[in-house]
Amino acid sequence: MKKTNYKELEKFISNSRLKSYEQIIKKKKLENLIAAYHWNKQVSTSLYPILQCLEITLRNALHIAGSKAFQASDWYEQVLKHGGDEKFKSDAATHSIKYFRKSAGYKKEPRKKAWLSNHESMLLGSKRKLTNDGKVLSANNVISTVMFGFWVSFFEDAYAGIDPNKSLWPHQESKVFLPGGVANRKQAHLLLLDLQRLRNRMSHHEPVWKDKSVVDDKSAIQFLHTQVDNALLLIRSFSTERYEHLLKSGKVAFFKGVCSERTLLAYLRGDQFKRLDKRKVKRLVCREMRNVRVEPVILTVHDVPKFVVDLWPNQ
């Protein structure tokens, strides 16, 4: 097999990107940095279905509650309008210099533009995309097009108030959150903001473990496990069935195995971890299937690229 040219790889990954991995490995050789880079990609892969489950469950939990509370499939229009008014009024001294907003009591004036909140702009952008794609501007199409951040923004203070005909919170907390989950809208918002940052790092191909609490490999792994625990808490708060189905799918077990010191070490050691020929793979898999402990097995099979055997029991 041809020897890997790590210097050539570095050119097309970038030195600055690889240097960020020095934080989680002791021997800071280029080949180790690239191994940690590949481990990070595998961790990102294992995180994706968990965060996707959270996003879809969050979206539908809000949509079900909002549609019923405001008696409209496009309930978000009314909620966004009132929330936008509250945001404008909260900093009217600044906003009203260049902008107006009639619904907030600030009339149109010469040379002033209509003001939209960032949240309203997200919705407008999604509608434009649907129009450009030749799709109908139905509520179903809109809610399936807007991004994760759109739903997270509904947990901001601007959407809390005493009038249940205008505000989501606290009136919908008992409809959105199940007992035994997150305590309230504010706790959910803090957790969602952290998970949104994690999702953004994945989208930008950054180290997913980047956080001020991370100082080494152990704290990086602990940070990611905490984020997944928080995602699971939120999913369970919205739907017990959705939470249990995610566990049964094996996606959480797969994440826990990939995001571990053992698996990171497997990437750093390369071919030193386990060497098998093709005939022994079946034997190893059958043996692992008898184990109660669930953990991916990292293998290097002769003449076959490295792969992950993902095993979990029915629950």
More confident residue, 192 or 279: 192
pLDDT at 104 over 60: yes
Contact 50, 58 (CB under 8 A): no
Predicted pLDDT at 304: 57
Contact 276, 300 (CB under 8 A): yes
Predicted pLDDT at 257: 87
Average pLDDT score over the chain: 90
- Alpha-carbon span 53 to 65, nearest angstrom: 18
**Is the pTM for the entire model greater than 0.75?**
yes
With a CB cutoff of 8 Å and minimum separation 6, the contacts of 136 are 130
Q: Could you count the other beta carbons within 10 Å of the beta carbon of residue 293? A: 9
Which range is least confidently modeled, 5-19, 129-143, 156-170, 288-302? 288-302
Q: Tell me the per-residue pLDDT of 227-274, one tens digit each, with 9 for 90 and over.
A: 999 999 999 999 999 999 999 998 998 899 899 998 898 888 875 455
Report the amino acid identity of residue 201.
R
Q: Tell me the per-residue pLDDT of 83-101, one tens digit each, with 9 for 90 and over.
A: 999 999 999 999 999 999 9
Predicted pLDDT at 283: 76
- Alpha-carbon span 260 to 253, nearest angstrom: 11
pLDDT band at 307 (very low <50, low <70, confident <90, very high): low
Burial degree of 228 (CB within 10 A; 0-12, 13-18, 19+): buried
pLDDT at 315 over 50: no
pLDDT at 213 over 60: yes
Q: What is the mean pLDDT of residues 279-302?
A: 64
Q: Tell me the per-residue pLDDT of 58-68, one tens digit each, with 9 for 90 and over.
A: 999 999 999 99
Q: What is the mean pLDDT of residues 151-163?
A: 97
